[in-house]
Amino acid sequence: MEVALLGCAHIHTPGFVKMLKARAGVKVAGVWDHDAARAKKNADELGTSTVREVKALLDNKAVAAVVVCAETNRHEELVTAVVAAGKHLFVEKPLGFSGHDADRMAEAIEKAGLLFQTGYFLRGQPHYQFIKQQIDKGTFGKVSAVRHSNSHHGSIGGWFDGEWRWMADPRVAGCGAFGDVGTHGLDLLMWFMGPVERCTGDISVVTGRYGDCDENGEALLKFASGAVGSLAAGWVDLANPVTCIVSGTEAHAVVTGGKLYFKCEKVAGADGKSPWTDMPAVWPHAFENFLDAVEGKPHPPLVSPREAADRSAVMDTIYEAARQGRWLPPRKR
């Protein structure tokens, strides 16, 4: 199977390059990036060539799938071209620069019937799979509250000082720290609980290392189910031990230090005092899942284009709600 790489800007690109190099039966047909030096660097690593025009790769009938790791403000132009060429596509998160372009892309991808995936890899972790299964089974009873935190010390550590600097420029990335890492937690909370009815947030600059780029934030979400959600994300946390809490009328779960503590009187051994170990197997990385799907191999469920667009729309609304200082409903399609 042949794939093409369109854009090498995202911080996860080196990881995807390693996966592609290690993947038996996958050949990279070529690399495009508007930055010729960046394209060459990744093409050399992959043992392939660069192209000056995207069309050269999309016209290649041998290319079955395309990996888009360009800057977020270039996604729609690239995705539109890929869809027109009828290629399956992996688009690094977030799908859209805003909710509007994400909606347009999702509609086009769905209409074309193409395989799609984005980088929401947290779903595959055993403790999150377990929580999702138990929510769907009704084990938690009525879920009243959910919380997720996804934070690191990227600003303090200067992660975006060099070639990844664009990710700390909302004019190119569409968001700052809160949207960058918060989209993973938002995906999990919406995967658990479904549609968001309204939301608000407080998003701020902390160190000022990257100018007016936000570095930290908290959001409140009201789900259509009636549950309230809270979402923390940023680049200024030296530690982030408690990543998830789910509270229900009949069960409670906490993910802390990479371990799950589960309490439920209906489940034998679920006393909430010792780590819960009876969990599903870890899924392959979201990128590996995509390659498996394109090759026709068994794979866990992919993230749908609509799911990706809905996350972009809610995140867009959180930022707007934070600017206005009030609750807002995610805009309707």
Q: Residue 237: which residues within 8 A CB-CB, separation 6 or more?
A: 151, 152, 153, 216
pLDDT tens digits along 194-252: 999 999 999 999 999 999 999 999 999 999 999 999 999 999 999 999 999 999 999 99
pTM here is: 0.96
pLDDT tens digits along 304-330: 999 999 999 999 999 999 999 999 999
Same-domain pairing of 34 and 146: no
- The last residue of one of the domains, among 82, 117, 152, is 117
Q: Output the domain CATH number for residue 60.
A: 3.40.50.720
The model's confidence at residue 158, banded by pLDDT at 50, 70 and 90, is very high
Distances (CA, A) of 28 to 3, 55, 91, 298: 5, 16, 16, 22
Q: What's the pLDDT at 331? A: 78
Q: Which amino acid is at 124?
A: G
Q: Residue 194: which residues within 8 A CB-CB, separation 6 or more?
A: 223, 224, 225
The phi, psi pair for 316, rounded to 5°, reads: -55, -45
Q: Give which of 190, 253, 248, 250 is closest to 224, Cα–Cα.
A: 190
Q: What's the pLDDT at 120? A: 98
Gap between the Cα atoms of 188 and 196, Å rounded: 12
Q: Output the domain CATH number for residue 260.
A: 3.30.360.10
- The last residue of one of the domains, among 117, 145, 160, is 117
pLDDT tens digits along 250-271: 999 999 999 999 999 999 999 9
- The last residue of one of the domains, among 117, 152, 175, is 117
- Res 2 pLDDT > 90: yes
Q: Average pLDDT for residues 83-97, to the nearest whole number? A: 97
